[in-house]
Structure 1
Amino acid sequence: MSSITKPTVILVHGAWHGSWCWRFQIPALETLGYTVEAVDLPCGSGVAGTTQFDDAAHVRSVVESQTSMGKCVVVLAHSYAGPIASAAIKGLSEKGVLGMIALCAFIFPGGMDQGAVIRDIGGLPYVTWNMPSEGLFQTKDPRSLFFPPDVSADRADWAVSQLRPQSMAANMGIVPPQAWQDDSYIGRLGYIRCTADVVIPIEQQDGMVLGAGGQDKWVVRTLEGSGHSPFLSRPHEVAAALDEIVNAFETKV
């Protein structure tokens, strides 16, 4: 696929992060000829009560601003943003959205009560609820959670200083309707596995992909030995994996 036909990549960050986290990923994608847009999700704005529906609506507005100009779009979603990006592109498979790529991200069915699931498993041991104020929460030890084993110490230091509290309602609410459950996106869904991820262990990543249709529905690539933040540790490998997946998507259009 020539550089002039490459889609715009919309980057959607995970919980506690922001568009800042793509600092090293953006130039790696641009080197391959992609135009890039990075969003900031409302859930990370410090406003309690912000939901996944708010985040999805914001991403959708960015997607539609691009497609309204005649641009083709691919969404790359990290971690928490998997269900957000999938909700944002629902119904847009024939309206300029080529597909979605999940980067060591969650895959949840639409309508799932995420809060009930978290309560059933006894909560999330790695977070502190209602901190630094009611309705927000933050991670207890982000350095050990997000960055091992392959993010350098200096990049981890920089990233930790950028993390912000997350709206609890965004993680404890209902998952919006999901595009990955629509047949129109079969073959235009991608998943980049990270085998050393602490946040979402590889077994959980594989289980979610399998439960969502497996390799009949998803184009899968693997970053061996990578943790939860390959956009900091291996941005060129992420870009190469994305490029392979986008090329696979092109054969399905």
Structure 2
Amino acid sequence: MADFLFVHGSCHGAWCWRDLIPAVEALGHSARAIDLPSHGADPTPIADVTLDSCRDAVLAASKPQTIIVGHSWGGYPISAAAEAAPNAMRALIYVAAYVPQDGLSMVEMRKLSPRQTIHEAVEKSTDGLSYTVKPDMVWDLFYHDCPPDVLPYAFARLCPQAIAPQDTPLPTSDRFAGVPKAYIRATDDHTIPTEYQAQMSLTAPEAMRHTIDSSHSPFFAQPQKLADLLDKIEKDLAGSQV
């Protein structure tokens, strides 16, 4: 049995793993999710959110045997956690997520993408501290292949995303490089181009690179298939450590 910890992406919260957690638990694993600062039930003011505080939220929930799964922007705080304390986790799994290049922020990473998909979809707050996704673009950007109940469920819970942590460079070293990694690429992603995901997935060994025929939200679109992939990755990790 593995211990999976799920870390959400921009504007989301622990709620987005609603369908995946029971599917993973049915395979015999433990599974839990956290709210990053200012998301979900976390009361942190947006002005106080930093990359470090996001990193610390991950570390506070992780144990040495934990496999940390990060989605989208969640790839950054899980990577920061690995850089800060590589022994505090067993492995990292990126699901349609950003994998940092040494010294670059997520904003800089997004700008390196071969296609820009979200520029017209986001609105910055009047104080310049956060952004939200335009309501009429949420479905196509995140959930276009998801069951119809997902949009009202998610729409009621999406929240502003703090900009500061995403605009903070993340230096990485051999500490980050030494943590085992896997990548699950979404092939029909309208948020992070799948070809860019393929490029970022090269941080993982070839045997630890997988694809799922899904939008940016495979945890809603194909929770069982995603759970099965996580289960396979865990078994492959166990085999590689024998």
TM norm structure 2? 0.86
| 2:142 counterpart of 1:146 | yes
**Superposition deviation, residue 125 in structure 1:** 2.6
- In the other structure, the counterpart of 1:75 is 68
Partners of 2:73 and 2:106 within 8 A in 1: no
Give 1:199 deviation, angstroms. 0.4
| 1:207 counterpart SS class | helix
Q: Are residues 109 and 119 of structure 1, via their aligned partners in 2, closer, same or farther at CA, if it must alter by over 3 Å?
A: closer
2:205 alignment partner in structure 1: 215
Identity of aligned residues (%): 28
- What are the superposed Cα offsets for residues 174-201 of structure 1, whole Å, 9 maximum, x if unpaired? 225367842x23xx21111110000012
Count of residue correspondences: 232
Compute the displacement of 1:90 (Å).
2.9
Matched with 2:229 is 241
Task: Give the Å deviation of 1:92.
Answer: 4.5
Cα–Cα, structure 1 residues 17 and 235, in superposed 2: closer, same or farther, change >3 Å? same
> Which SS does the other structure have where 1:153 is aligned?
coil
Residues 1:105 and 2:100 are matched in the alignment: no
Q: Is the 8 A contact 1:87 1:179 kept in 2?
A: no
Partner of 1:3: none
Residues in 2 aligned to 1:204 and 1:196: alpha-carbon distance in whole angstroms:
12
In the alignment, is the contact (CA less than 8 A) between 1:16 and 1:165 conserved in 2? yes
Q: Distance in 1 between matches of 2:187 and 2:175?
A: 23
Please, what is the CA RMSD of the aligned residues? 2.5
Contact 2:6/2:32 (<8 A) preserved: yes
Instruction: State whether structure 2 residue 75 is matched by structure 1 residue 90.
Output: no
Point out the more displaced range, 96-105 or 228-237: 96-105
Structure 2 segments unaligned to the other structure (5+ residues):
none
Structure 1 residue 89 displacement after superposition: 2.5
CA distance in 2, matches of 1:99, 1:85: 10
Alignment check: 8 A CA contact 2:182 2:205 kept: no
1:235 and 1:118 map into 2 onto residues whose CA distance is 26
The answer to whether the 8 Å contact 1:10/1:37 transfers is yes
> 1:9, 1:76 within 8 Å by CA — same for their partners in 2?
yes
Q: Deviations over 1:133-172 (max 9, x none)?
A: 5412111121221011x20121122112210001111222
CA 1:92–1:138 in 2, change beyond 3 Å: closer, same or farther? same
CA distance in 2, matches of 1:198, 1:180: 32
